Amino acid sequence: MPRAPRVPRGTLGDVPSQTTPRRRVRLTPEVRRRQIVDAAVRLVGERGFYGVSLQDVADAVDLTQPGLLHYVGSKDGLLRLLVEEGYDRRFDPEDYIATGDPSATHPDGASLPGYLRYLVAHNAENPQLMRLYMVLGVEAASPEHPAHDYFRNRPDAVWGLYSGTRWRLPEAVGAWKDQRGLVEMAIAAMDGMQIRSFREPPIDLVEEWDRYERVLFPSPLWDDCR
């Protein structure tokens, strides 16, 4: 019985070798950094900073480890990228004012309660970022953790950031320089509420913050500044 004719290599009938390298898609540096941040946010939020290797992140974004290092420099550099671009540069007071919301663009200044509502709403839409912040915050209690200084200095950093915005305040509460205690209580309340959102039974962050706001910014004192 005659043999079937051989199919010459390189024709449509050729079966590609499993070792054929995949063509890597070229992305702009900005898009690639965004990919790295998104992947690292997810991985570190799930496993903690010490539980994630550079190779894990490289695999998640289809890069070699040297390719990843081109963007982050080191594992500590990856952490800085996470904190600076994954968490800190989102939903700050300037973003709130840019929404054009009347509570943010009032001639007498932006509404502090309005901004905190805005912040809670956006955090609620980004549970992976909340998880990242909580996991790093717990790990960084150790002085040896590379994020220790960041969390230790965060109250000063938040106060400095917020102090760059003109806020509308009730006359009875005094000037902005007197509001640091209130700001720190609000942020601490927000942090605690976010931890609760990952427990059972689940809570609605926006609805829960409405309860907190009524205590932190009581009526009628704050009614004209919401």
* CATH (domain of 49): 1.10.10.60
Asked if residue 138 and residue 44 are part of one domain, the reply reads: no
Asked if residue 158 and residue 105 are part of one domain, the reply reads: yes
Asked if residue 149 and residue 51 are part of one domain, the reply reads: no
Asked if residue 107 and residue 48 are part of one domain, the reply reads: no
Q: What is the pLDDT of residue 60?
A: 96
The answer to whether residue 3 is domain-embedded is: no
Asked if residue 34 and residue 80 are part of one domain, the reply reads: yes
- State the alpha helices, DSSP H only, in the chain: 29-47, 54-60, 65-72, 75-81, 93-98, 112-124, 127-139, 148-162, 180-196, 205-216
- pLDDT tens-digit series, residues 163-215: 999 999 999 999 999 999 999 999 999 999 999 998 999 899 999 999 999 99
Q: Tell me the mean pLDDT in the region 136-154.
A: 94
Provide the pLDDT confidence category of residue 1 given band limits of 50, 70 and 90.
very low
Copy the structure tokens of residue 140.
Answer: 């960084």
Provide the pLDDT confidence category of residue 14 given band limits of 50, 70 and 90.
very low
Range of the domain at 131: 90-225
8 Å CB contact between 225 and 113: yes
- pLDDT tens-digit series, residues 48-97: 999 999 999 999 999 999 999 999 999 999 998 888 777 666 689 999 99
Asked if residue 41 and residue 138 are part of one domain, the reply reads: no
Asked if residue 207 and residue 98 are part of one domain, the reply reads: yes
Q: Give percent above pLDDT 70 in the chain.
A: 87
- CA neighbours closer than 13 Å in the CB half-sphere of residue 76: 8
Closest by alpha carbon to 115, among 175, 190, 40? 190
8 Å CB contact between 111 and 168: yes
Question: Residue 141 carries which DSSP code?
Answer: T
The answer to whether residue 134 is domain-embedded is: yes
> DSSP letter string over 1-17?
-PPPPPPPTTSTTPPPP
The answer to whether residue 129 is domain-embedded is: yes
The answer to whether residue 7 is domain-embedded is: no
Asked if residue 185 and residue 100 are part of one domain, the reply reads: yes
Alpha carbons 132 and 44: distance in angstroms, whole number: 6
Asked if residue 122 and residue 46 are part of one domain, the reply reads: no
